[in-house]
Chains A and B, each alone.
Chain A
């Protein structure tokens, strides 16, 4: 009797799972296909020298079969009192499109560094607004979509001897 009950329960669970699972070819929501997280970077050594990195790292986890366009990424910090320099975008994977020519894409994981353009960052909660664009391989593309991540700068945080990012005049 107990065995029959347990078999029936297992079968019911399997049925419910089959009913709940989305069809395999249903596209993911943009935030699931391209999932960003923000991380405060305070003084990570840079491999190429003795300088230190200060800023925000945006870590993207990209679902299998999806890719982001490198050149279409835009970042904006709010409130804008926290100034950031030009984003440090890894080169990515070069692709050659017969119509739009060469471009670079990101797959799986990528970290984009947003360097601080100030020597002192006021503590607080900052939002990083992102505009991204990407595709599901051979199926469809996402028109530019907004995303938002949050980073907290704790009291006492101080950017010491932070190198001035590219594009920001001293």
Chain B
């Protein structure tokens, strides 16, 4: 019987327990659901066509140079509506520091307009057809869920793609880190 064997076993068990605790802790920490790989190029993102509430064509290129918070949402999506008041506050707080919010939806224009009035949305809410969710998927939304929020730098490059509710405090911290302001 080798005398070192039990000690080696205990050491290995301790190491395994440490790994398990790390893995368990990693899962216990509240994390945002993971989105998939980003397939859209900055040029494709900036040139994607939408319309505003008046039916005028719009692209994200008009905000080139700004950090963009692009939020995919819908009026029927309750979690989307829950996070938007926080976006309104953040748009006010960050608008003079080079940050612009834009909402994108495949939805009924009348419902979007009513919702915008009711909540006092202070950033553009643009509309589109199937290409809205197609872009969302190409920006990492593998499951096609809402809300989906993408942070873009001034050149249209994806900094972060997140599905589910983006809390006001977390997004505020992310914008501070991205802009250095």
Q: Is A47 an interface residue (CB 8 A)?
A: no
Q: Mark A114-137, 1 if CB is under 8 A from B, else 0.
A: 000000000000000000010100
Which among B4-12, B93-101, B150-158 touches the partner chain? B4-12
Q: Min CB distance, A142 to chain B, in Å? A: 5
Q: Which of B30, B143, B164 contacts A29 (CB 8 A)?
A: B143
| B31–A99 CB distance below 8 A | no
Residues of B within 8 A of A24 (CB): 27
Q: How far is the CA of A12 from the CA of B13 in the complex (A)?
A: 9
| A15–B79 CB distance below 8 A | no
Q: Is A46 an interface residue (CB 8 A)?
A: no
Q: Contacts A18-B24, A143-B133, A143-B144: A25 and B78 contacting too (C-beta < 8 A)?
A: no
Number of interface residues of B (CB under 8 A): 40
Q: Which of B23, B118, B146, B164 contacts A143 (CB 8 A)?
A: B146
Q: Is B46 an interface residue (CB 8 A)?
A: no
Q: How far is the CA of A27 from the CA of B144 in the complex (A)?
A: 11
Q: Contacts A27-B145, A27-B163: A140 and B17 contacting too (C-beta < 8 A)?
A: no
Q: Which of B23, B79, B144, B147 contacts A138 (CB 8 A)?
A: B79
Taking CB as reference atom, which chain B residue is nearest A24? B27
Q: Which of A1, A100, A135 contacts B79 (CB 8 A)?
A: A135
| B147–A140 CB distance below 8 A | yes
User: Which of B151-172 touch A at CB < 8 Å?
Assistant: 163-165
| A23–B27 CB distance below 8 A | yes
Q: List 25 A-B contacts (CB under 8 A).
A: A4-B5, A4-B6, A8-B13, A12-B16, A15-B19, A18-B27, A23-B34, A24-B27, A26-B33, A27-B143, A27-B163, A97-B78, A99-B75, A99-B115, A133-B76, A138-B79, A140-B147, A140-B164, A141-B77, A141-B78, A141-B79, A142-B144, A143-B74, A143-B145, A143-B146
Interface residues in chain A, defined as those with a beta carbon under 8 Å from any beta carbon in chain B:
1, 4, 7-8, 11-12, 14-15, 18-19, 21, 23-27, 29-30, 69, 97, 99-100, 133, 135, 138-143, 145
New contact pairs (11) apart from A23-B26, A140-B147, CB-CB < 8 Å: A1-B5, A11-B20, A23-B33, A135-B78, A140-B145, A140-B146, A140-B164, A141-B74, A142-B143, A143-B145, A143-B146
